Structure 1
Amino acid sequence: MNRFIIAAFVAASCLVYRASAQEVNTNPVELPSATVWEFVKYNNAAANLYTGTVCIEIPVYTYEDSDFTIPVSLGYSSNGFKPNIQAPAAGHEWSLNAGGTVTRIVRGLPDEERNLSTFGFMETHNDSTLTGVGQLDGFTTGWDNDGIEAVSPTLFYAPYGWDNTSMLFDMEPDIFYFNFLGYSGKFQLGYDGAVHFYDTNTKDSEFALEIPRYDLNEITIVTGDGFRYTFGTGLAREFSGKTGTSWKLSEITAPNGRKVTFEYTRSARQYDSAATLTYQFFNNYAPSTMNYSFRGNYLIGPEKMAEIDIDAKPTRPKLSSPIFVSALDRIVFDNGSAIDFYYKTLPYNESGEGTILTILPKLDRIVVSNSDGEAVRTCALSYSFPPAEESNKIPFLSEIELSGEGVFSMEYDYDETTIFPKHGTFKIDHWGYYNNSSATYESFYAKTVQDDYLHESIGTSVRNPNGEYSRIGMLKSITYPTGGRTDFEYEPHDYSAYVTCEYPVFIPYLQNTVGRKAAPAGGMRIKSIKDYSSSDTTSPAYSREYSYLDSEGYSSGNLAPMPRYGLSYTRSTPPNENISVFLGSYNDLLPSDGTHIGYSRVVETLPEGSNEYRFISYRDCPDGKVTNMEYTNINNYLYDVTCNRNLSGTDARNAIMALMSPTISMESKRGKLLSKRSFDKNGDMVASQTTSYESYTYAYESLDKIWNLQSLYIGATRVATVIGDIRPVSVSTRISGVTETENYSYDSFRNLKTVVKDGKTSRFLYVQDLDDIEAFDDMVSASYWNSFRSTATARTMKRLNMVNLPLQEEIYDKNGILSIRRYNYGYRNASDTSLVVVKSIESYDQTSERWETVSHFDYDSLGNLVEATDPDGVSTVYIWGHGGLHLVAAVGNATIEQVEDA
């Protein structure tokens, strides 16, 4: 195995190569560019056997000094071929991983929308006087597409206290996704200045957000160590029309003021790929003043659709507004070093099925230069194309040549006869994977069928998955500069249970397939990985085979909800209008809460034995519905309905509420490792690891998404109890008959508070805990920290968001304290109060029963430690070179004055 590829398992649950493509089931207004999508798809979540997705990462270069670590790599991730996604800058399914990005799903109006009568959610976020809920009214946003008027499905509200009730306020905060340099997660704006970070890969509470008051031209995220990451400056923002679709990392600022700058160029105008989502509610009966017509919310662009009808079909897929794409041009470091990115136009162009398709330049070279302008690392990329004359000329990354290393060569699943369809094809399954069906625009839009008990099925086969075609174009092998090779084999996803929301409970639950027979799902999963040495390219030197069955022999796959298409029902009371509900699946171009399928049990077979992995699945962590939601006037419009089976009373109300109320998705909480058991060739268990989890919940008051049918009122706010995270509380490891257990607890900020192992407890205190110091009253130094939190240093640390730094670590057993380690912070010196540093470290050891202090820490202007004195009064001097960026020497038993005089 070449050193550039992640080893066979990264942690217990990770596949050979890291990351997984994500599926989506939501309603974006604008889509990100292909390059941004590929970056987010690759980086948004670690790949693991739970999703069966393989991911490859080839490091190009890592810049590192005393403050910054900036990696640049090329990554591959794929679940199968999706023909309506254009190849990004590094070729089909490859991403350039450099810097980071923030992107979003627009819900209703963009948050920053602001004019005389309509306001995005930022207005409510900024103005604390906008409280309470008034009348909800449907609102036509004024979008226009070839004369077709567009209707937003969102409801808007006029809060109490406003005399002008014609002023309409978006009640849906957009969902923002971020991924940069090892950090990932989501955030939303809240009421009265609140910001909610969630689903992060560290601690939700360590992040702080800074944005302009009434626009989103720039977004700054501050991490718990005080580093500031700014997105969207200048050309680092991609947008469609006036709506920002993504913000790319443009600057990093360290606490000492040092900066790294990311420069961009405007590379092209990319048009959205033809998508296949319809996700709106419509009322076919409406007064003449309510001119509801269907534009598709930027996702479907029918050229003409005169009436809303469940059987209406668009005449052609149509692209929406263009996205102005930014390409990373250069990374500049303050010591004069730089990383440059060069692009080129390829000899062949991708084409669209009756659509406009902008050709995106592809990455040609990466050049790393030192402060003297000399190249110290180069990376050259080459591309290949499907040879069949009728095929769409999709660019595949065929070679990566790294200076000083050699060439990586890739082969993909296609040959001289393989025909890749053009963008905008209807020949895709429910999840956007290619199925080469006979679908046309007349047959593409499926229809959800219900039986007398409202059990749902899809009444067409043209959207069924087909693994023979969804596998084309996937990576088959990679050959390393050493001559070794890795081959990949895939198989279609399948499942024996699926999520549904049907009669009689109308809340999400897991339903087994008939006889628990395995049913196919869209996309592919890894079946085997085989490594070959340079000396023997025919017999694998090592192999891994994967099985996705539960302990009873059934598929362990759980499928997310099947899409609903064209669900309709008719009110049983006058005026007996027909109510049409459009929901659906589409080409997932945005990140989401998770994949469309997950596996609760996977067995990995190795030459020396096997490993069994079990993961948190839907059965362990199901989705839920919001609580405390009350509608008034619902009876006037929705109460009595007929839908094959006549419903009334509670059944009717629950059915409508199930359609109108979104679920609380717990997908991001699933996929965590529950257990790993290792067996030898004879089937005897030789090791095991089991993890127990707990979840913390919080109540979040929101008005979220409610759909409008003419007129509807809400009588109370929605209070949703949300699982904020699932955290390990116990890990038991058994090796050679010996079991060791570690138990964990957390504070109110999700910081690790205690670790208990072998009868000893380690307890931790952080700067963030100064807000909740009472929780640590039993600690030896509680009174000390109560005093410290009121000092100017503590206030500065909180202001700079340096909240994730340690204050104290202590270890104790049943007999009392064994040791304490305390960090004392202060300003670098009296004249520089902008830079907070560790001034001393105090240690207590129970054996000697005394405190010892490493103190007299001196720092240079960049915050580098230049001298420290140990408890015996002996000093060590640290010498920094290259402009203070790298430690070059440490001189013991000397002072800074002695070193300077030497």
Structure 2
Amino acid sequence: MNIKTTITLILLFAAKTCLAQDLPKITPPSPEATALAKFTEIPVSHYTGVPSISIPIHTIQQNGISIPISLNYHSRGIKVGEIAPRYGLGWALQYGGSISRQTRGGTDESQYGYLNNNYDMDFFTDANKRGDVQDTYTFNQEYDFTPDLFHFNANGIGGKFIIDKTDGEVLVQGFDDIDITYLNQSVGNFNGIQSFTITDKHGNKFYFGVSKNGIRTARNYDKPIRSSHIPMGGGRQDFGFSGENYFNSWQLMEIETTYGHMIEFHYGSEEISRTFRHSYDKLENNVPVHHSLELEIHQFQLSEIRFNKGKLMFQSGAERDDLQDSHMLDKISLYDKQDNLIKSYELDYIYTTSIVDNNVHDFLEAQEPRANKRLFLNSIQETAPNLEQLPPYLFEYSTEQLPNRFSTSQDLWGYFNGKNNGQHLTFFDYGNVNIDRTVDVVKSEAGLLKKITYPTNGSSAFVYEDNIALTPLEFGQLVFQNVNPLIKKGVALSQISYSQYYNTNTNEYVHPFTIGPGIVGAISSFVRFNSPDQCSSSEFIQGCKFRVYVQGNGTAFELFIGKNDNHFNLAPGNYELIVEPRGTHDPLDPENDGFAVYLDWFEEADNSDDVVYGGGKRVKRILMDDAHGTIQTKEYEYLDLFGRSTGRIFGLPNFYSISDYSVGQFTILDAFGAVPGSPLGTPQGNSVGYSKVTEYYGSITANSGKTEYEFSVIPDAGKYYEFPYPLPTDNEWLRGKILKTEMFRKDPLDYTLLQKTENTYLYGDILANYPLPPPVFNPGSYSTYCNNDSNPGYSKNQRRYHLPLIQFINPGDITCQNGGNLAYDTYYLTGGTLDLGRSVATSYFDNGRELTTTKDYFYNYDDHYQLGSTQTRDSEGLTRMTKMYYWTDVNDTELGNRHRYSDIVKQENFLDKNDDGIFQPSELIGKQETDYRLWTNANNQYLPEYIKAQKGSGPLENRIIYHDYDDYGNPLQVSKPNGQNISYIWGYNNQYPVAKIENANRTEIDALSGFGTDFDSGTGGLTSIQENRLRSDLPKAIITTYSYSPLIGLKSVTNPMEDSTKYSYDQFNRLKQVKDRNDKVISEYTHKYKN
């Protein structure tokens, strides 16, 4: 983006209301929580250009819930101010869930925080209330109108929420059948939110911060020690802190499954006694001022997960070189219930050390010497119990080295750009420093993962490119500092180029050149004469052997000997560099007649008015090498049919304090302050997304086919791009939805379309695809009020919420010249329902035939957020409907009390035989119902007793009958109507079936000698005596028995004929042999790795 004019303003801060020029202070959570929240802010998707990169560790399976444990990598890029979590930069440990807070302004629960201050909805209709709020706001700097933003994840169910001060309820941005409650009270030295409980739609409960019994706690917080205020030139002032501490993240403590059993998460406390946060830099009284914060970070690190089959241990290693008192994750070990080691993973790390330069403030460099170190995960290696090791996962990163964590060498978005910006992070020149916040396409890749080598010796390599996107239409009147990469241009002349540029008619050297429309800054010059006698560095003197000047485009500028940086300005256009020899001239006599003239300048790589290099990287190409000579390639393109970028910019850069000034039709932004680049450090985390992405199976020029994806790119709403810059109405949750997918086959001359899927979405019950914010989520009235009543439209129902917020503005604002101190702007936070409404799938065949299926989706938002019914119409014109019933539809309050919204109690299938669009009872073709029962003998669990089915107009009949369960929800006896009973015995802590007994009921089994009521085999399997007793005392039963190696696999199966099949595993728990009862090998598996 070009800037043709730069206007510098001096801010005068005379009243508290003028501080509206400071954007809301955004405080990210701890490094561990931030690493996890990045995946919510910028999801892995074709839409974001972020590929899925994951190293699986283990998956916990317990009582119907599956919890994958993995290390995941986020490839958008590493911001300069990013602190590595304990597994290295870019990585995050996914293990079941987390909740973290992005503090926006003051903490919600503080005295004048959003939840406790005297601002509420009657502010808009009561002038006295507005006066009271204004008075309190004026005399209390910490007064906060903005709710904090919470990021949450509960075993894959994730999103954002805020707390509505009107009723204290949690408002999840995307509505679903999840329930989030919190405890807000004072406990010891801590006020505010102590814990959260999330209940998912299956009835599983997730306890965050405090365990269910209230005994164990794990919550992170930062304790400020002092803030430093350091003007350029000296005069540091330190300010101490007193007051309360508030938590910024809450660890997952327990998962209580819908069957009532616990998975426990345990933590070790880690107290980082002293670190610094570069808060912001700002122009005050026309002097750059550095602001930083010294603080203690109190965080909890995962140490153990206990589940019913065993436990995972997370062992910390040595103290980190990059962060005082913090420790890296050294080893992850899996144990069974008897504390037998199953396997472990050892993690190895490397550090990089930044090069010392002058781009770090002296104060921070002295106080935080570890900030020049960066922690990277180098390898992960699996180790067997006998200490034998597999080849490791190896990780290679960009050779571009990250700078000091406090470096000012940052582009507009906070990524490394290698520029010398001095000790102050600004958007304006100061002293002798010329600020350069442009994107550097090479440097911004610093720290990124480039290659993974797997234990098989195969590999995946990642090639990245810059995010290039269009600015929103709303930014059309907005101009801010250059961001696009700069290309150095130049023009040169010397006597060596005599034959090319010497004009014998005019006796001059003439070199034409062009200044492009993307020029940034001034022209630098270098002039040297080998015989400089009688020549000056400031004026032309008769007797000098050469005269040098630039002319063209109505301009003439003379040059003199010497080097002159930023010497003169030239507008875009065509020019000539001219060297005029004075007197005789012999180009073959360099000693006396030699000269050299050079001009250089910078131009933007893309100077289109609406094209901007966004923050970080997107994936360009993935190369997958199987280590056996085959390399598969996927390449990605982010262009439309006209070759223009499909990217869109969302959100402003890291401004802290902004002034605006109108010049004609433009608004010039002077950023008088800047916030360092760190994750979750800005109101809008994801700055770019793509409306169309093409994935090639091969390279762009040589491939077997491609898939084209189109996504929603609904912009944020509100006037966040206008003074005084309120928070945007965040619509990221509406973006990235797949609108269309097309799959093509590559033919010799072109592509052939094979399949197309087009999706339309329901926005709060309205079926549409919106290029702009949907009206249901766009209140529209982002207005300025001059001390008068307003009706901003607070709304909350089953389909949406509109939460109006205010921001006082400068009373001198031209809109409210007579508004006094009570002039204010309104803006909104919104959320609601967003679901797939219609999907049209078309298949194309070589004979020209097409098959199209249209599927419509319907919901009953007044009762629940589950899929209510679908209607599918095929190419033959037949329409089928499937209707689902849940507890709210049949008034099963017991399911409701257990929050089991996802249980389908009844399902009906219809065929619209007469094609009238009405599904009548006579068109019913099938039905299935589940009858539940409260099983008091099985820990009061509410589980199915009868599964019923109906065909057509026939009777509804029992198909499966559950006679009994154990306390873990495992069936003990089932049957079909008039069929034989099938009974099960469970073992290994009720986790695996150890016997299947057909034609016997549990009463008969429990009566056997050595058994008993609701018998199970305890911590292991059946003994040989028990197995023989079953077979001898139940002669009519058909018995199959099983034994296991817990957390490894099936150990043996003995069929009703008493033939056994045995399974053995190698030291890495991989299947090695299968043998029959005579120990004859049936099959054998060998695992070999290349080299």
TM-score over 0.5 (shorter chain): yes
Shift of the alpha carbon at 1:229? 0.6
Shift of the alpha carbon at 1:174? 2.3
Alpha-carbon contact 2:857-2:867 (below 8 Å) kept: yes
Residues 388/212 of structure 1: CA separation in 2 closer, same or farther (3 Å cut): closer
Indicate the residue corresponding to 2:1060 in structure 1. Answer: none
One-letter code aligned to 2:997: V
One-letter code aligned to 2:344: T
Residues 604/243 of structure 1: CA separation in 2 closer, same or farther (3 Å cut): same
Paired residues for 1:546-625 under 5 Å: 546-563=636-653, 566-568=657-659, 586-590=676-680, 595-607=686-698, 608-618=703-713, 621-625=714-718
Aligned residues: 732
Paired residues for 1:296-307 under 5 Å: 299-300=279-280
Paired residues for 1:644-683 under 5 Å: 659=724, 661-682=726-747, 683=751
Q: Report whether the alignment pairs 1:225 with 2:202.
A: yes
Indicate the residue corresponding to 2:5 in structure 1. Answer: none
Indicate the residue corresponding to 2:334 in structure 1. Answer: 368
Alpha-carbon contact 2:271-2:298 (below 8 Å) kept: yes
Distance in 2, Cα, partners of 1:420 & 1:716? 41
Q: Which has the larger radius of gyration?
A: 2
Q: Which among 313, 334, 354 is matched to residue 288 of structure 2? A: 313
Residues 660/427 of structure 1: CA separation in 2 closer, same or farther (3 Å cut): closer
Shift of the alpha carbon at 1:586? 4.5
Shift of the alpha carbon at 1:715? 9.8
Shift of the alpha carbon at 1:688? 2.2
Paired residues for 1:26-175 under 5 Å: 27=24, 29-42=26-39, 46-114=43-111, 118=112, 120-121=114-115, 134-135=129-130, 137-138=133-134, 151-152=141-142, 154=144, 171-175=145-149
Indicate the residue corresponding to 1:738 in structure 2. Answer: 851
Shift of the alpha carbon at 1:368? 0.9
SS, match of residue 442 in structure 2: helix
Q: Which among 907, 912, 917 is matched to residue 809 of structure 1? A: 907
Q: Which has the higher contact order (CA 8 A, sep 6+)?
A: 1
One-letter code aligned to 1:676: T
Alpha-carbon contact 1:613-1:673 (below 8 Å) kept: no
Shift of the alpha carbon at 1:694? 2.6
Distance in 1, Cα, partners of 2:91 & 2:828? 41
Distance in 2, Cα, partners of 1:130 & 1:877? 66
Moved more, 689-698 or 470-479: 689-698
Note the residue ranges of structure 2 that are not aligned, 5 or more in a row. Answer: 1-21, 187-191, 211-215, 224-244, 358-371, 479-605, 663-668, 765-775, 778-794, 796-800, 812-819, 914-922, 1008-1033, 1035-1091
Residues 897/185 of structure 1: CA separation in 2 closer, same or farther (3 Å cut): same
Residues 581/81 of structure 1: CA separation in 2 closer, same or farther (3 Å cut): closer
Q: TM-score, normalised by structure 1?
A: 0.73
Indicate the residue corresponding to 1:650 in structure 2. Answer: none
User: Identity of aligned pairs, percent?
Assistant: 22
Paired residues for 1:247-646 under 5 Å: 247-269=250-272, 274-275=277-278, 299-300=279-280, 308-309=284-285, 311-315=286-290, 318-334=292-308, 337-345=310-318, 349-350=321-322, 357-358=323-324, 360-386=326-352, 392-403=372-383, 406-415=390-399, 419-442=401-424, 444-446=426-428, 462-498=436-472, 500-501=474-475, 518-536=611-629, 541-563=631-653, 566-568=657-659, 586-590=676-680, 595-607=686-698, 608-618=703-713, 621-625=714-718
Residues 30/394 of structure 1: CA separation in 2 closer, same or farther (3 Å cut): same
Distance in 1, Cα, partners of 2:671 & 2:293? 23
Residues 884/129 of structure 1: CA separation in 2 closer, same or farther (3 Å cut): farther
Q: TM-score, normalised by structure 2?
A: 0.61
Moved more, 746-755 or 421-430: 746-755
Shift of the alpha carbon at 1:716? 12
Alpha-carbon contact 2:938-2:969 (below 8 Å) kept: no
Indicate the residue corresponding to 1:841 in structure 2. Answer: 947
Distance in 2, Cα, partners of 1:886 & 1:130? 61
One-letter code aligned to 2:689: G
Alpha-carbon contact 2:949-2:958 (below 8 Å) kept: yes
Residues 844/596 of structure 1: CA separation in 2 closer, same or farther (3 Å cut): same
Indicate the residue corresponding to 2:227 in structure 1. Answer: none
CA-based RMSD of the aligned residues comes to: 3.8
Alpha-carbon contact 1:239-1:323 (below 8 Å) kept: yes
One-letter code aligned to 1:71: P
Indicate the residue corresponding to 2:1065 in structure 1. Answer: none
Shift of the alpha carbon at 1:212? 4.3
Indicate the residue corresponding to 1:765 in structure 2. Answer: 885
One-letter code aligned to 2:690: Y
One-letter code aligned to 1:60: I
Indicate the residue corresponding to 1:453 in structure 2. Answer: none
One-letter code aligned to 2:647: G
Note the residue ranges of structure 1 that are not aligned, 5 or more in a row. Answer: 1-24, 143-148, 155-170, 276-298, 351-356, 448-458, 505-512, 572-578, 627-653, 774-784
Distance in 2, Cα, partners of 1:132 & 1:894? 74
Alpha-carbon contact 1:386-1:414 (below 8 Å) kept: no
Distance in 1, Cα, partners of 2:474 & 2:830? 21
One-letter code aligned to 2:933: G
Shift of the alpha carbon at 1:376? 0.6
Q: Which among 853, 859, 865 is matched to residue 971 of structure 2? A: 865
Q: Report whether the alignment pairs 1:206 with 2:178.
A: yes
One-letter code aligned to 2:60: Y
One-letter code aligned to 1:426: T
Alpha-carbon contact 1:367-1:378 (below 8 Å) kept: yes
Q: Which among 787, 795, 798 is matched to residue 896 of structure 2? A: 798
Q: Which among 990, 995, 1014 is matched to residue 884 of structure 1? A: 990
Alpha-carbon contact 2:933-2:943 (below 8 Å) kept: yes
Q: Report whether the alignment pairs 1:704 with 2:769.
A: no
Q: Report whether the alignment pairs 1:824 with 2:931.
A: yes
SS, match of residue 406 in structure 1: coil
Distance in 1, Cα, partners of 2:721 & 2:381? 58
Shift of the alpha carbon at 1:112? 2.6
One-letter code aligned to 2:46: L
Distance in 2, Cα, partners of 1:581 & 1:868? 71
Residues 838/520 of structure 1: CA separation in 2 closer, same or farther (3 Å cut): same
- How big is each residue's C-alpha offset from its partner over 1:793-848, in whole Å with a ceiling of 9 and x where there is no partner? x434333322332221111122411111122223113x778532223222221164
Alpha-carbon contact 1:842-1:852 (below 8 Å) kept: yes
Moved more, 555-564 or 583-592: 583-592
